Amino acid sequence: MKQLTGKVALVTGGSRGIGAAIARRLAHDGATVAFTYVNATENARTVAKEIEAAGSQVLAIQADSADPPAVIAAVEDTVAKFGRIDILVNNAGIMIAAPLEELTAKQTDHMWAVNVRAVFVASQAVARHMSAGGRIITIGSTMPGRVFGPGFTLYAMCKAALTGLTNGLARDLGPRGINVVMVTAGLIDTDMNPADGPGADSLTSLTALGRYGTPGDVAQAVSFLAGDGGSYVTGTAFTVDGGLTS
């Protein structure tokens, strides 16, 4: 039996990149998977078909993480469809990189809404349904500990907030047997930060392994933490960065 057989997972931002890799991996390891997407309808259909073809049940939900009612509805739809929810992966995120003087209040509010508020809203909604043994896993970043250059202040601020949120949730939900952990990702080859993009060579040289990671690297860590391997891991960060912060 696969380690996540009988579990139901919800992955936010699961139509591409790290989120899609996580959705596929959790399904591969036996979970029934729901995932959200905003506009990438064709990508979402492709991921759903791949999961179905592999023999798992799947639900693709169009939901904007910037909209709290939509985030809550995605949780409720997952429970209504599958009867329970055991794993929440807060993956959806955006990056706005710009000189400090050019950032607007609207940009600040939008990034905070997607990268921080949505994580709180989804976790709060899931907590109403989650039983002992549940997992809340949030995808973080090494950026707060090592900002590589100008223009990333807002992104680093939002990702830093997830540390406090993870620690607080762990204390709130620990007595109920629910584990809360953050997966801190380093240089991962995605559309947001491609391994062949501008400046990638210099960034790669900062890692101990001398290369970018893949979405699959993050997905394997998430699946490990969602299963028995994560049973005594909570209120902390699990780093997947190829030695970037070593």
> Annotated active-site positions, please?
155
Distance of alpha carbon 77 from alpha carbon 57, whole angstroms: 14
Nearest partner of 219 among 23, 10, 52, 54, judged by Cα? 23
